[in-house]
Amino acid sequence: MIPTAFPPKEEIARLTARMLLEIGAVNFNTDEPYTLASGLPSPSYIDCRKLISFPRIRATLMDFMTVTVMRDAGFEAFDNIAGGETAGIPFAALVAERMALPMTYVRKKPKGYGKNARIEGAMSEGERVLLVEDLTTDGGSKLSFVDAIRETGATCGHTAVIFYYDIFPETTKTLGDHGVALHYLCTWWDVLAEARAQNAFSAETLAEVETFLNDPRAWQDARAKS
Protein backbone atom coordinates (compact mmCIF):
# COMPACT_ATOMS: atom_id res chain seq x y z
CA MET A 1 0.00 0.00 0.00
CA ILE A 2 1.30 3.44 -0.91
CA PRO A 3 1.82 5.51 2.27
CA THR A 4 -0.14 8.74 2.43
CA ALA A 5 1.33 10.28 5.61
CA PHE A 6 4.28 12.63 5.12
CA PRO A 7 6.11 13.32 8.40
CA PRO A 8 8.58 16.25 8.37
CA LYS A 9 12.08 15.29 7.23
CA GLU A 10 13.48 16.13 10.66
CA GLU A 11 11.08 13.72 12.36
CA ILE A 12 11.88 10.98 9.84
CA ALA A 13 15.59 11.48 10.56
CA ARG A 14 15.10 11.39 14.35
CA LEU A 15 12.89 8.31 14.30
CA THR A 16 15.16 6.47 11.87
CA ALA A 17 18.14 7.15 14.14
CA ARG A 18 16.12 5.96 17.13
CA MET A 19 15.20 2.70 15.38
CA LEU A 20 18.78 2.03 14.32
CA LEU A 21 19.90 2.49 17.92
CA GLU A 22 17.05 0.34 19.27
CA ILE A 23 18.02 -2.71 17.23
CA GLY A 24 21.75 -2.37 17.85
CA ALA A 25 22.60 -1.40 14.28
CA VAL A 26 24.75 1.47 15.58
CA ASN A 27 28.17 0.49 16.85
CA PHE A 28 30.61 2.89 18.52
CA ASN A 29 33.99 1.70 19.78
CA THR A 30 36.81 4.19 20.24
CA ASP A 31 39.21 1.78 21.96
CA GLU A 32 39.15 -0.87 19.22
CA PRO A 33 38.03 0.89 16.02
CA TYR A 34 36.27 -0.96 13.22
CA THR A 35 37.93 -1.48 9.86
CA LEU A 36 35.99 -0.05 6.94
CA ALA A 37 35.89 -1.57 3.46
CA SER A 38 38.61 0.92 2.52
CA GLY A 39 40.86 -0.65 5.16
CA LEU A 40 40.84 2.54 7.23
CA PRO A 41 39.83 2.63 10.91
CA SER A 42 36.59 4.11 12.19
CA PRO A 43 35.09 4.41 15.71
CA SER A 44 31.62 4.04 14.20
CA TYR A 45 29.95 1.30 12.20
CA ILE A 46 26.38 0.98 10.97
CA ASP A 47 24.71 -2.32 10.07
CA CYS A 48 21.50 -1.58 8.17
CA ARG A 49 21.19 -5.23 7.12
CA LYS A 50 19.84 -6.00 10.61
CA LEU A 51 16.67 -4.11 9.74
CA ILE A 52 15.24 -6.96 7.70
CA SER A 53 14.79 -8.99 10.92
CA PHE A 54 12.57 -6.39 12.63
CA PRO A 55 9.19 -6.25 10.85
CA ARG A 56 7.67 -3.20 12.58
CA ILE A 57 10.80 -1.09 12.16
CA ARG A 58 11.41 -2.41 8.65
CA ALA A 59 7.87 -1.50 7.57
CA THR A 60 8.06 1.97 9.07
CA LEU A 61 11.39 2.77 7.44
CA MET A 62 10.19 1.58 4.05
CA ASP A 63 7.16 3.84 4.42
CA PHE A 64 9.58 6.66 5.24
CA MET A 65 11.72 5.88 2.19
CA THR A 66 8.71 5.75 -0.09
CA VAL A 67 7.31 9.09 1.01
CA THR A 68 10.77 10.69 0.95
CA VAL A 69 11.30 9.63 -2.65
CA MET A 70 7.82 10.69 -3.75
CA ARG A 71 8.12 14.05 -1.99
CA ASP A 72 11.61 14.80 -3.33
CA ALA A 73 11.53 13.23 -6.82
CA GLY A 74 7.84 13.12 -7.74
CA PHE A 75 4.82 10.90 -7.36
CA GLU A 76 5.02 9.48 -10.89
CA ALA A 77 8.79 9.74 -11.33
CA PHE A 78 9.68 6.05 -11.67
CA ASP A 79 8.80 2.95 -13.64
CA ASN A 80 11.10 0.42 -11.96
CA ILE A 81 12.78 -0.02 -8.57
CA ALA A 82 16.25 -1.62 -8.64
CA GLY A 83 18.15 -2.98 -5.66
CA GLY A 84 21.92 -3.12 -5.53
CA GLU A 85 23.44 -6.52 -4.72
CA THR A 86 23.16 -7.57 -1.98
CA ALA A 87 22.03 -5.25 0.79
CA GLY A 88 19.73 -3.19 -1.41
CA ILE A 89 17.69 -6.12 -2.71
CA PRO A 90 15.19 -6.57 0.17
CA PHE A 91 14.66 -2.84 0.56
CA ALA A 92 14.06 -2.40 -3.18
CA ALA A 93 11.46 -5.17 -3.07
CA LEU A 94 9.67 -3.52 -0.15
CA VAL A 95 9.69 -0.06 -1.77
CA ALA A 96 8.52 -1.51 -5.10
CA GLU A 97 5.61 -3.18 -3.32
CA ARG A 98 4.57 0.11 -1.75
CA MET A 99 4.87 2.04 -5.02
CA ALA A 100 3.16 -0.73 -7.04
CA LEU A 101 6.11 -0.88 -9.44
CA PRO A 102 8.24 -3.66 -10.96
CA MET A 103 11.37 -4.62 -9.02
CA THR A 104 14.75 -5.64 -10.40
CA TYR A 105 18.21 -6.02 -8.97
CA VAL A 106 21.71 -5.19 -10.15
CA ARG A 107 24.66 -7.53 -9.70
CA LYS A 108 28.03 -6.17 -8.67
CA LYS A 109 29.52 -7.92 -11.68
CA PRO A 110 28.24 -10.24 -14.44
CA LYS A 111 27.38 -13.65 -13.06
CA GLY A 112 29.74 -15.41 -15.48
CA TYR A 113 27.33 -17.90 -17.06
CA GLY A 114 24.02 -18.03 -18.93
CA LYS A 115 23.31 -14.55 -20.30
CA ASN A 116 26.13 -13.13 -18.16
CA ALA A 117 23.67 -10.49 -17.01
CA ARG A 118 24.08 -7.82 -14.37
CA ILE A 119 20.38 -6.93 -14.31
CA GLU A 120 18.01 -9.56 -12.94
CA GLY A 121 14.33 -9.14 -13.65
CA ALA A 122 12.66 -7.15 -16.44
CA MET A 123 14.08 -3.73 -17.22
CA SER A 124 13.22 -1.99 -20.48
CA GLU A 125 14.69 0.79 -22.57
CA GLY A 126 13.35 4.18 -21.54
CA GLU A 127 12.25 3.12 -18.05
CA ARG A 128 13.00 5.54 -15.25
CA VAL A 129 14.73 3.52 -12.54
CA LEU A 130 15.22 4.28 -8.85
CA LEU A 131 18.30 2.59 -7.36
CA VAL A 132 17.72 1.51 -3.75
CA GLU A 133 20.54 0.64 -1.36
CA ASP A 134 20.93 0.32 2.40
CA LEU A 135 23.51 3.12 2.78
CA THR A 136 26.13 5.26 1.11
CA THR A 137 29.49 6.49 2.34
CA ASP A 138 31.22 8.44 -0.44
CA GLY A 139 28.79 7.51 -3.24
CA GLY A 140 31.40 5.72 -5.35
CA SER A 141 29.90 2.23 -5.20
CA LYS A 142 26.60 3.50 -6.61
CA LEU A 143 28.14 4.54 -9.94
CA SER A 144 28.73 0.99 -11.19
CA PHE A 145 25.12 0.05 -10.45
CA VAL A 146 23.87 3.20 -12.20
CA ASP A 147 26.01 2.49 -15.25
CA ALA A 148 24.70 -1.09 -15.46
CA ILE A 149 21.13 0.22 -15.38
CA ARG A 150 21.86 2.81 -18.07
CA GLU A 151 23.45 0.18 -20.32
CA THR A 152 19.98 -1.35 -20.73
CA GLY A 153 18.70 1.89 -22.23
CA ALA A 154 16.87 2.79 -19.03
CA THR A 155 17.59 6.00 -17.14
CA CYS A 156 18.72 6.28 -13.52
CA GLY A 157 18.90 9.74 -12.02
CA HIS A 158 18.04 8.95 -8.41
CA THR A 159 19.26 6.67 -5.62
CA ALA A 160 17.59 6.22 -2.23
CA VAL A 161 19.26 4.91 0.93
CA ILE A 162 18.29 4.49 4.54
CA PHE A 163 21.56 5.84 5.86
CA TYR A 164 23.96 8.46 4.49
CA TYR A 165 27.29 9.02 6.26
CA ASP A 166 27.31 12.78 5.45
CA ILE A 167 30.94 13.17 6.53
CA PHE A 168 32.72 13.07 3.18
CA PRO A 169 32.14 16.34 1.31
CA GLU A 170 32.79 14.81 -2.10
CA THR A 171 29.78 12.46 -1.95
CA THR A 172 27.06 14.64 -3.44
CA LYS A 173 29.48 15.96 -6.08
CA THR A 174 30.51 12.43 -7.06
CA LEU A 175 26.88 11.47 -7.54
CA GLY A 176 25.85 14.80 -9.02
CA ASP A 177 28.60 14.72 -11.63
CA HIS A 178 27.18 11.35 -12.67
CA GLY A 179 23.67 12.78 -12.91
CA VAL A 180 22.35 11.10 -9.78
CA ALA A 181 20.39 12.72 -6.93
CA LEU A 182 20.67 11.21 -3.44
CA HIS A 183 17.68 10.67 -1.13
CA TYR A 184 18.19 9.43 2.43
CA LEU A 185 16.47 9.08 5.79
CA CYS A 186 19.19 9.92 8.32
CA THR A 187 22.91 10.56 8.80
CA TRP A 188 25.60 10.06 11.42
CA TRP A 189 24.72 13.51 12.78
CA ASP A 190 21.13 12.42 13.43
CA VAL A 191 22.35 9.22 15.10
CA LEU A 192 24.83 11.14 17.25
CA ALA A 193 22.12 13.56 18.39
CA GLU A 194 19.71 10.74 19.25
CA ALA A 195 22.45 8.73 21.00
CA ARG A 196 23.14 11.76 23.20
CA ALA A 197 19.43 12.26 23.89
CA GLN A 198 19.15 8.63 25.01
CA ASN A 199 22.51 8.48 26.83
CA ALA A 200 23.07 5.38 24.72
CA PHE A 201 26.87 5.60 25.01
CA SER A 202 29.29 7.28 27.39
CA ALA A 203 29.95 10.99 26.96
CA GLU A 204 33.61 10.23 26.26
CA THR A 205 32.73 7.79 23.47
CA LEU A 206 30.31 10.22 21.85
CA ALA A 207 32.85 13.03 22.04
CA GLU A 208 35.47 10.89 20.30
CA VAL A 209 32.96 9.83 17.64
CA GLU A 210 32.11 13.48 17.04
CA THR A 211 35.80 14.25 16.57
CA PHE A 212 35.95 11.55 13.93
CA LEU A 213 32.80 12.75 12.18
CA ASN A 214 34.07 16.33 12.01
CA ASP A 215 37.31 15.30 10.30
CA PRO A 216 37.46 11.57 9.51
CA ARG A 217 40.65 11.82 7.45
CA ALA A 218 42.58 13.53 10.25
CA TRP A 219 41.27 11.04 12.81
CA GLN A 220 42.31 8.12 10.62
CA ASP A 221 45.74 9.65 9.92
CA ALA A 222 46.35 10.11 13.66
CA ARG A 223 45.42 6.47 14.30
CA ALA A 224 47.69 5.28 11.51
CA LYS A 225 50.64 7.09 13.09
CA SER A 226 49.99 5.86 16.63
Tens-digit pLDDT profile for residues 76-102: 999 999 999 999 999 999 999 999 999
- Say whether pLDDT at 50 is over 80: yes
Give the pLDDT confidence of 167-196 residue by residue, as tens digits.
988 899 999 999 999 999 999 999 999 999
| 159 labeled part of a ligand binding site | no
Instruction: Answer yes or no: is 74 a known binding residue.
Output: no
Judged against a pLDDT cut of 70, whether residue 120 lies above it is answered with yes
* Mean predicted confidence (pLDDT) in 134-149: 92
Model pLDDT, residue 113:
67
Total tally of structural domains belonging to the chain: 1
**225 annotated as ligand-binding:** no
Kindly tell me the burial class for residue 218, based on how many C-beta atoms sit within 10 Å of its own C-beta (0-12, 13-18, 19 or more).
exposed
71 is in an annotated binding site: no
The predicted structure's pLDDT at residue 112: 66
Q: Annotated binding residue at 24?
A: no
Domain that holds residue 113: 9-20+51-198
226 within a domain of the structure (yes/no): no
Q: Which of the two residues, 225 and 6, has the higher pLDDT score?
A: 6
Looking at residues 139-161, what average pLDDT do you find?
95
Q: Return the higher-pLDDT residue of 85 and 117.
A: 85
Establish whether 107 is an annotated binding residue. yes
Kindly state whether residue 78 falls inside one of the protein's structural domains: yes
DSSP 182-217: EEEEEEHHHHHHHHHHHT-S-HHHHHHHHHHHH-HH
In a domain, 155, yes or no: yes
Torsion sign across C-alpha atoms 65, 89, 98, 149: positive
Q: What is the CATH number of the domain that holds 113?
A: 3.40.50.2020
Residue 206 lies in a domain: no
The answer to whether residue 150 is domain-embedded is yes
- Tell me whether residue 136 is annotated as binding: yes
Is residue 104 marked as binding?
no
Q: What is the mean pLDDT of residues 214-224?
A: 87
Work out the burial of residue 72: count CB atoms within 10 Å of its CB; fewer than 13 is exposed, 13-18 middle, 19 or more buried.
Answer: middle
Is 28 a member of any domain?
no
According to the annotation, is 108 in a ligand binding site? yes
pLDDT computed for residue 143 by the predictor: 95
Q: What is the model's pTM?
A: 0.94
Q: Is residue 67 part of a domain?
A: yes
Whether 203 is in a domain gets the answer: no
CB–CB of 67/183 below 8 Å? no
